[in-house]
Each structure stands twice: as C-alpha cells, then as structure tokens.
C-alpha cells in the first residue's frame, strides 16, 4: 500500500492489515462496449465479498482516474466503479449527429453501464458531481430504484445562469456558446493546470495525482473532439434538461444527499441550497472546499460514501 493510500485509509478510520484482509492496492482498467457508438473506459476495484457497490461519476474536465485513490481506499468493503463519460478520457467520442452529449443521453449511458455490469441497484450508492449529477437524477426520476442512495453536489440542477461562472453562462447562450468554446479550447493548458484549484486560498491548495493530471492532458483531444467540445455539446441541451428536471423534481423518490463546496466559484452554493429546499433534501456545505470536494478532501468523500451504507 503506497503512502497516499495509507493516509486515506487512516483518515477514514481503517487500519491496513497484512495478508488476506489487506485492502486492494490497485484498480483494474478496461473497456465496456455499450453499443455501436459508445465504448467506455472503466475503472473497477473488485471485492470478493462486498458490502455494496459504489459508482463514481466525474465532471468537467475530469476522467474516471479522478476517483482512483478513493476507489482503492473503499475497496476493502465495497466493489467500486467509475467510467469516463463519452467525450472524456478514453471513452468514445462519436459525432454529435449520432450522440447528443446531453444530460438525458448521459442518463441512458449510465443506465446501460449499470445493466452491463449487472450491478445490484439495491446495494448501490452513486456519487455524482458536476456534469455527472443531473444525468443520475434524471435516471432516478424514471427509475427510482436505480440506486439505494445518490450523493450529488457542485452541479446545476436548475436553469439559474446567474449562479454560474461566466464561461458556463456563456455556454448556455446560443449567441456566445461558440466563441466561448473556441476560447476554452485555446486556453486548454490553463484549464488543465488550474481549473481544479482556482481561487482557493494558499491554505486550501492541494496537489493532483500526477497520473490523473497526465490522463486529462493526454486524452484532451481524441477522434477529432476535445473535452471542451463534449462539454459544449452537453451545454447546448443543458437548459432543456434542467427545466425538465425542475418541473419534475417533486417526483424524485430515490434517497438523495447533497454536498457542496462553500468556495465553489463555478456553481455557487445558492444553487445547492435551492435544490435541497425544493426537493426537501439534506445538504452539507463544506467549509473551505471548492468545486471538487473529492479531489480537495478525498477522505471526507470516502466517509460520505461509507455513511450512505449505514
């Protein structure tokens, strides 16, 4: 077990022991073909006798490797899955005329992945952040038993551009979407280097795993599409799916918990507070945390996941 995993294990209250009971030290990566257009890269930590299953859903500009250390830390008790969304990491990037990259389309990808992996949804916790959260909730509207619990945060469930960063507001507007996409593509090196820690004070800065950061950079552009392109396609239909979700939020039956970074500069905590109030959900606003709680404080994220099974 490396030092990072030992630290994480200590923080979440697990004591590593030698031999058969030692937590896994590696995660498997592979590919899952869902249909002719979509093949996903997956990351899985196996457990011969899991207490349940955890599925992590990443945001922009991430990949499944954002959750690798947390997955390994949780692997002593659970089977843990993550995958790259279409348009991200090493997953497929079909042309938009074949796959729309909308939240509703990602919801169908999520459903297909769960079915393909034969995950027992009665023992499943989904942890979804940023662009991964709305697809999980849209799926839950149609299939309340898709998970025993969903943890979401730092995303935009409703059409409230005033609560979002300027670039995100611009991507939601047809008139400014294309120039914004072009500018973000031109500045992709700055996004990769700084987006996760931007505007955090010195005491809140943190390091990204080199493997994860290299994965984002290496796979930024594949098959003629960049990560920003996929993000922009998502935003082209984002408002439609947000409005659908808000109109139907009262129908949400799956147990949901909301967590939010207090210092999130991309989607302000006011969005989470409004969502929690409308859906009558518990919300925890995390002091000193930005838009990426799972990267800034992975030990707390692991604790939240463990608590969901109690």
DSSP run (H or E) holding 31: strand 28-33
Rounded mean pLDDT of 103-112?
Answer: 98
pLDDT at 8: 47
pLDDT at 26: 83
CATH superfamily of domain region 3-307: Alpha/Beta hydrolase fold, catalytic domain (3.40.50.1820)
CA atoms within 13 A on the CB side of 98: 10
Strands 124-129, 149-153: pairing is parallel
Distance CA(182)–CA(136), nearest Å, equals 29
pLDDT (tens digit, 9 = 90+) per residue, 167-215?
999 999 999 999 999 999 999 999 999 999 999 999 999 999 999 999 9
pLDDT of 6 higher than 50: no
- Tokens 């899955």 locate to 81
pLDDT (tens digit, 9 = 90+) per residue, 232-275?
999 999 999 999 999 999 999 999 999 999 999 999 999 999 99
pLDDT at 20: 40
Quick one: the chain helix, strand, coil %, rounded to 5? 45, 15, 35
Judge contact between 265 and 154, C-beta under 8 A: no
pLDDT at 12: 42
For 138, the 3-state DSSP assignment is: helix
- Tokens 């969304």 locate to 85
Domain chopping of the chain, boundaries: 3-307
pTM for the whole thing?
0.92
Instruction: Report residue 193 as tokens.
Output: 């280097």
Distance CA(181)–CA(185), nearest Å, equals 6
Rounded mean pLDDT of 157-161?
Answer: 98
pLDDT at 11: 40
């Amino acid at each position: 077990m490396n030092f990072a995993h030992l630290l994480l294990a200590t923080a979440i209250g697990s004591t590593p022991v030698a031999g058969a009971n030692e937590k896994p030290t590696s995660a498997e990566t592979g590919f899952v073909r869902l249909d002719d257009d979509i093949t996903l890269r997956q990351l899985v930590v196996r457990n011969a006798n899991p207490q349940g299953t955890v599925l992590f859903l990443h945001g922009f500009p991430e990949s499944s490797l954002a959750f690798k250390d947390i997955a390994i830390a949780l692997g002593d008790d659970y089977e843990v899955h993550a995958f790259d969304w279409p348009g991200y990491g090493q997953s497929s990037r079909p042309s938009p005329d074949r796959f729309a990259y909308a939240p509703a389309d990602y919801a169908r990808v999520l459903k297909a992945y769960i079915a393909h992996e034969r995950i027992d949804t009665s023992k499943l916790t989904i942890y979804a952040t940023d662009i991964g959260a709305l697809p999980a909730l849209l799926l839950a509207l149609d299939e309340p038993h898709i998970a025993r619990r969903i943890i979401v945060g730092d995303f935009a469930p409703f059409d409230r551009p005033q609560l979002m960063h300027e670039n995100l507001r611009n991507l939601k507007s047809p008139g400014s979407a294309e120039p914004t996409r072009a500018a973000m593509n031109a500045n992709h090196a700055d996004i990769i280097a700084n987006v996760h820690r931007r505007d955090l004070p010195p005491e809140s800065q943190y390091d990204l795993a080199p493997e994860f950061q290299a994965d984002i950079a290496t796979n930024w552009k594949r098959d003629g599409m960049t990560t920003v392109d996929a993000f922009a396609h998502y935003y082209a239909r984002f408002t439609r799916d947000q409005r659908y979700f808000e109109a139907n939020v009262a129908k949400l039956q799956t147990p949901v918990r909301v967590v939010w970074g207090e210092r999130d500069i991309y989607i302000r905590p006011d969005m989470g507070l409004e969502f929690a109030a409308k859906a009558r959900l518990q919300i925890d606003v995390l002091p000193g945390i930005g838009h990426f709680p799972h990267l800034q404080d992975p030990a707390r994220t692991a604790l939240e996941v463990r608590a969901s099974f109690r």
